[in-house]
Amino acid sequence: MKRNNFRFTVTMLILWGSLCFAQTDTTQIKDDFKPSTLNQPGQDYPQVNSQGYVRFSIKAPEAQSVSVSLGGGTPLAKNEEGIWTGTTKGPEDEGFHYYHLTVDGGTFNDPGTLNFYGSTRWESGIEIPAHDQDFYALKDVPHGRVQQILFPSASTGTSRRAFVYTPPGYDKELTKQYPVLYLQHGWGEDETAWSNQGHANLIMDNLIAEGKIKPFLIVMTYGMTNEIKFGGLRNFDIKPFQTVLVDELIPYVDANFRTLSDQPHRAMAGLSMGGMETKTITLANLDKFSHIGLFSGGSFSMEDVDKTPGFIDKVKLVFVSFGSRELENRSGRRGGFFGDPKANADALKQAGINSVFYISPSTAHEFLSWRRSLYEFAPLLFK
């Protein structure tokens, strides 16, 4: 992929992610609000009702204005006790959403909720319970671990952080070796995203407990090696991250975990910008990766296949997914700036490639799309 295309697509992905799908709704709002599952301990607000409306309560007695970015902008009103309250004007999509407050013109987090790293800052987060939330729920099953490692990186002159999911039993079956999935976050997020927002570890624990997958490791590290500030994507260059991932992290993981370190047992996937990174890095390193996943991060066309020697022999799976709202909301242009990813997936399939296309129902460029993508992707790996 040319660098200009990469830059353009990443920029579009960012804009895409910020699009507002809020609806104006005349339905009666049910009075069954409960504290969000992501609230800080002991905090009653924000609250979510069974329809997906969100209600906020912020103490700021002397403030002139308080609004919430969720729901396309939700203004709050002050009551007699100096508490600002309000409810989104429509129900929110199921799943996880980032948001923040605007208090008298300043950007702050909601003191009621936990924070999650997105948009290059720690943002407030809220969870609208999804009808299929069971697959990423914390259950009474054997749990794997999420291990923070610090690995040496000569190219950046730092010790860099990654998280490694090891499945249940990893520390008991001491002769067993495991395949590895390298899994990347999106623009403005970091290596904490797939565990905190994505529940990747719980998705794996549950899939393993149900016997739906063979256990493998997941490695998650920071993919914006040379970029942190909003707008900095002008100068985005895949090389620094590719060097860290391919030349430094992979050898470290293979030396320090019990991996199957050959190409057939190594996969890479990513969401949004992480999907774009995945495409670029895997195409340039097909001797290292056999299974590829792009979650809301572009697709592979036959042109990509044709210009990449060995693609058909070496690539054992191409998985491409989107949230349904990403593809339906572009003024009739099917697929929007992604081209037509379904047609691309079909073309690869006809060429004999193991090509899988998945649409997450009723979700946008957000984490429920990606939790579901991982859930669909994982069972297809390392067959």
Residues at the contact surface with a copy of itself, assessed by CB under 8 A: 40-42, 58-65, 82, 101, 103-109, 111, 114-115, 120-122, 138-140, 143, 145-152, 159, 171-172, 174, 195, 201, 228-229, 256-257
Q: Minimum CB separation from a copy of itself for residue 139, in Å?
A: 8
Residue 314's Cβ-side half-sphere holds a number of Cα atoms within 13 Å equal to 19
Residue 90 CA to residue 24 CA, distance in Å, equals 5
Residues forming a β-bridge with 116: 123
Q: By the 8 A CB rule, do 297 and 377 touch? A: no
What's the min distance (Å) between Cβ of 360 and a copy of itself? 26
User: For a copy of itself, which is the closer residue by CB, 147 or 362?
Assistant: 147
SS3 per residue for 47-72: EECCCCCEEEEEECCCCCCEEECHHH
Measured distance CA(185)–CA(241) in Å, rounded: 13
State the nearest-atom distance from the C-beta of 325 to a copy of itself, in Å.
29
160, β-bridge pairs: 151
Complex with a copy of itself: residue 90 or 118, whichever CB lies closer: 118
Whether the CB-CB separation of 179 and 260 falls below 8 Å is answered with yes
Between 41 and 310, name the residue whose CB sits nearer to a copy of itself.
41
Give the strand order in the sheet containing 34-35: 34-35, 47-48, 54-59, 83-87, 77-78
- Helices 273-284, 3-18: axis angle to 10 degrees equals 160
Q: Is 115 helix (H, G, I), strand (E, B) or coil?
A: strand
- Structural contact between residues 336 and 324, judged by C-beta atoms closer than 8 angstroms: no
| Minimum gap (Å) between residue 205 Cβ and a copy of itself | 8
Closest separation between CB of residue 31 and a copy of itself, Å?
Answer: 25
Shorter beta-carbon distance to a copy of itself: residue 31 or 81: 81
Nearer to a copy of itself, 79 or 148 (CB): 148
Least gap, CB of 331 to a copy of itself (angstroms) = 34
Task: Compute the least distance from the CB of residue 373 to a copy of itself, in Å.
Answer: 23
In the bound state with a copy of itself, the residue whose beta carbon lies nearer, of 59 and 333, is 59
Nearer to a copy of itself, 140 or 313 (CB): 140
Q: Where does residue 104 rank: exposed (0-12), middle (13-18), buried (19+ CB within 10 A)?
A: exposed
- Chain center to CA of 35: 24
At its nearest, how many Å lie between a copy of itself and the CB of residue 159? 6
